[in-house]
Amino acid sequence: MKETSTLLTFSAWTTYILINFFLAFLADLAQWPPRTQNFWFACITTTIGTIFTEFPLYVILFKVWMWFVIAIMDGWFSIPIVKSSIIQVLMLILDIFTMSILFYNFYKNYKTRQIILTQTYEFEHYGPELPSITSSKFWLCIMPPLHIPLNIKVFRDITYGTQEELRQVGKENESYLKLDIYVPKYSQKKDSLPIMLFIHGGNWMSMDKLIPFPQPLYLSSNNWIVCSINYRLAPKNPYPACLIDCKRALRWIKENIISYGGDPNFIAVSGDSAGGHLAALMALTANDKLYQPGFECIDTKVQACIGINGIYDVTNKHKALNPSFTEWFSLEICGKNRSDINKDDIREMLENASPEILVGRKGNLNEELVPFLIIHGDNDQLINIRSCREFVKTFRISAPNSKLVSIELPGAHHGYHFVSSPRTHYSMIAMLRFLNWAYQTSSNYNK
């Protein structure tokens, strides 16, 4: 019996040591992820980083639970090797190191509140307050990883393509020309509500509107109607098929959203990652006939744009992305042949697909741009924040009379916005404040 107890405590202690080393390694990887050109390795570090930077308190609680297990089993003193002061000191140092990183991650997560307070100060009267750590709302709504508002209603899988367009894209692509509409159940407003068109990311090749992003849920619970769309994916459907589909969705919204209580005169567009790229293009290519085949006369202007961890330069002229990105984008996303990469028409296509370059062109023509809100994590492994910074720099130089708000989130990885963490909620409040300001100061408000 004693041998069984000793074996059990030894197993528990061994497991504790292994988990302790593993957590220390992952916490370190999340805080200081290695720069890599390998896409899949970057995805792995992004996933790990998101967990350890968005939910450090849960990891801390797990470690505390492990301490109690070891204490209850008396593992620390039952195994002869553990009596060694070296082992004790090593574990103590490792615990202090890991817990320090986790608390620091929580601090940077919470620090987002002060940054957003500063960056959205002029919009503070257009949205709710940012809950502090001492408020009950912080712990009841912000800390649960999957907080889902109950006061919303969803209309699923509405086809936004015309019968002729469905025939053109083929049966295998019909499911991509659909959108979901999120509306508040108990809106206090009697007037029609403003619209947000949300475009999912996924490197133009994957993901779906059904992924439960917190942003559409949050905005629709705060008197916005959100249309989350699918679009045809590369490489089977080369760019600009995705952009054309986004404009088709916009056309449908303008023609039909009034039936759902929406205001077709104010439509903002937002997206994350590749969706952020498409959202920026939507705002910068309004009424461009090249991207509106068959509906050239439809007005495709939007009234505001929000980019979340987006790509704003596919020419990679600032070397902010992987050195092979432009070649990959040309081959895999645009469906071009390797022999065509250096041709002038390919370079022109890439420039036309780069929001940063389009901003510079419109600035030269003295065009006023719609208001932009740019949000980006400074620890983004997939899209280096330099891409965001260069876009913001070009925007402010080229269009100084247009509104742009840029928010850099300290410690945030590429996937922070997939979960309902404090940082995500604070950024969503920033989005809501910005959108309410854009809507209530627009010429269409109270018409």
Residue 75's pLDDT band, with cuts at 50, 70 and 90, is: very low
Percent of the chain past pLDDT 70, that is, above it, reads 88
Confidence (pLDDT) at 81:
46
Residue 261's pLDDT band, with cuts at 50, 70 and 90, is: very high
pLDDT surpassing 50 at residue 297: yes
* 411 contacts: CB under 8 Å, gap ≥ 6: 31, 53, 105, 108, 109, 111, 377, 378, 379
* Overall average pLDDT of the 66-79 stretch: 62
* Overall average pLDDT of the 67-79 stretch: 61
pLDDT surpassing 50 at residue 77: no
Confidence (pLDDT) at 5:
57
Mean pLDDT estimate for the chain = 86
Query: For this structure, is 427 an active site residue?
Result: no
Instruction: Give tens-digit pLDDT for 162-216.
Output: 999 999 999 999 999 999 999 998 766 667 899 999 999 999 999 999 887 888 8
What is the token pair recorded at 229? Answer: 């769309």
pLDDT surpassing 90 at residue 305: yes
Instruction: Give tens-digit pLDDT for 352-404.
Output: 999 999 999 987 767 789 999 999 999 998 899 999 999 999 999 999 999 99
* Overall average pLDDT of the 18-23 stretch: 81
Which range has the top average pLDDT, 10-24, 33-47, 169-183? 169-183
Lowest mean pLDDT among 122-131, 138-147, 183-192, 343-352: 138-147
Lowest mean pLDDT among 142-151, 193-202, 276-285: 142-151
* 147 contacts: CB under 8 Å, gap ≥ 6: 141, 214, 420
CA–CA gap between residue 430 and residue 393 (Å, rounded): 21
* Overall average pLDDT of the 111-129 stretch: 91
Catalytic residue among 273, 330, 354, 387: 273
Which range has the top average pLDDT, 35-49, 81-95, 214-228? 214-228
3-state secondary structure the chain: CHHHHHHHHHHHHHHHHHHHHHHHHHHHHHHCCCCCCCHHHHHHHHHHHHHHHHCHHHHHHHHHHHHHHHHHHCHHHHCHHHHCHHHHHHHHHHHHHHHHHHHHHHHHHHHHHHHHHHHCHHHHHHCCCCCCCCCHHHHHHHCCCCCCCCCEEEEEEEECCCHHHHHHHCHHHHHHCEEEEEEECCCCCCCCEEEEEEECCCCCCCCCCCCCCHHHHHHHCCCCEEEEECCCCCCCCCCCHHHHHHHHHHHHHHHHHHHHCEEEEEEEEEEECHHHHHHHHHHHCCCCHHHCCCCCCCCCCCCEEEEECCCCCCCCCCCCCCCCHHHHHHHHHCCCCHHHCCCHHHHHHHHHCCHHHHHHHHHHCCCCCCCEEEEEECCCCCCCHHHHHHHHHHHHHHCCCCCEEEEEECCCCCCHHHCCCHHHHHHHHHHHHHHHHHHHCCCCCCC
